Amino acid sequence: MATKSVKSTKSKSETKVCCGTARDIPLSESDAAGLALVFAALSDPVRLRLLSIISSAPDGEVCACDLVTPIGKSQPTVSHHLRILFEAGLVEREKRGVWVWYRAVPERLDAVASRLR
Amino acid sequence: MATKSVKSTKSKSETKVCCGTARDIPLSESDAAGLALVFAALSDPVRLRLLSIISSAPDGEVCACDLVTPIGKSQPTVSHHLRILFEAGLVEREKRGVWVWYRAVPERLDAVASRLR
DNA sequence: AAACGATATTGACAAACATCAATATGCTAA
DNA sequence: TTAGCATATTGATGTTTGTCAATATCGTTT
């Protein structure tokens, strides 16, 4: 790293000098870890498609039994991905009888989206 | 999965029946894969902090040499993470002399953010 | 040219992850 | 209560990922 007190060693291609000012990091370590968890939940194609199906459901909710076939993965795999979405707060679930209904949590998506700026 | 043509087998706790309508998935498989790559780039705390530092730089750019110390990881590790951010289109880089300057790509962040709804 | 410094790449390794078969749990219906 | 179905969990396996030491690459300076 270049030292802080470089005076004016400009070469033809540079005007500025990197200075090593230890500015504070805007995003704290624990905030970053928390945010990273949500993005990790969104970092799998299967989960994105699940979220897509759930979010665009006419009734706002989808039965888990209707998610296995269109996704094309085994039932345990789909269940696993739904759990990760749930734990990230991206969907909520409600058991009614034998079936489990999933709904998207748009406020959560908005919250994440707004932190991208 | 429940069959499609269930007529009215309501039990006390349910009004609706899951129906197995094979609706189209709004998000295509390849779109999902592409989006997942960007979210994967955002799914690491170190990369989120790098992006945070770069995005909030007064000059809009930061020298790579000023990223190693505040992140607290080895130089190869930081270089590795910067590469992933770059390949995801989240930052751009410019080599000037010995140094490499990184800038955020806000349009990219906006594009990703807007797809979260 | 030779030495030095900033950045990138390689190789290795442990931890995390996606996936499925098998099994467990829990609700409903006969 | 027993049978059957929807969902969740467990265990195993191959793959991906984060990390660092060592090394390579490439400007710059002497």
At B80-101, the pLDDT tens digits run 999 999 999 999 999 999 999 9
Residue B99 and residue B101: Cα distance in Å, rounded?
7
The domains located in chain A, with CATH, are 29-114 (1.10.10.10)
- Going from the C-alpha of A16 to that of each of A19, A24, B68, B70, B93, the distances in angstroms are 9, 21, 19, 20, 15
Predicted confidence (pLDDT) per residue in B7-61, tens digit? 233 333 345 777 565 567 789 999 999 999 999 999 999 999 999 999 999 999 9
Residue B117's pLDDT is what?
A: 80
Nucleotides of D under 7 A from a protein CB: 4-11, 17-22, 26-29
**Residues in chain B, total:** 117
Judge whether residue A32 has pLDDT over 70.
yes
B81 in contact with nucleic chain D (CB within 7 A):
yes
Query: Quick one: residue B97, left, alpha or beta (phi over 0 = left, psi -120 to 50 = alpha)?
Result: left
φ, ψ of residue A72 to 5 degrees: the values are: 75, 25
CA distance B94 to chain A (A): 12
pLDDT at A21 over 70: no
Task: Give the integer Cα–Cα distance in Å for A87 and A40.
Answer: 11
Give the nucleotide with minimal C1' distance to the Cα of A99: D6
Percentage above 70 pLDDT, chain B: 82
Cα–Cα distance, B110 to A76 (Å, whole number): 34
Residue A23 is predicted with a pLDDT of: 60
- Residues 28-87 of A, Cβ under 7 A from nucleic strand D: 63-65, 68, 75-76, 79-80, 82-83
* Residue range B99-116, pLDDT digits in tens: 999 999 999 999 999 998
pLDDT at B5 > cutoff 90: no
- The answer on pLDDT for A43 being more than 80 is yes
| Residue with tokens 């094309």, as numbered in its chain | A72
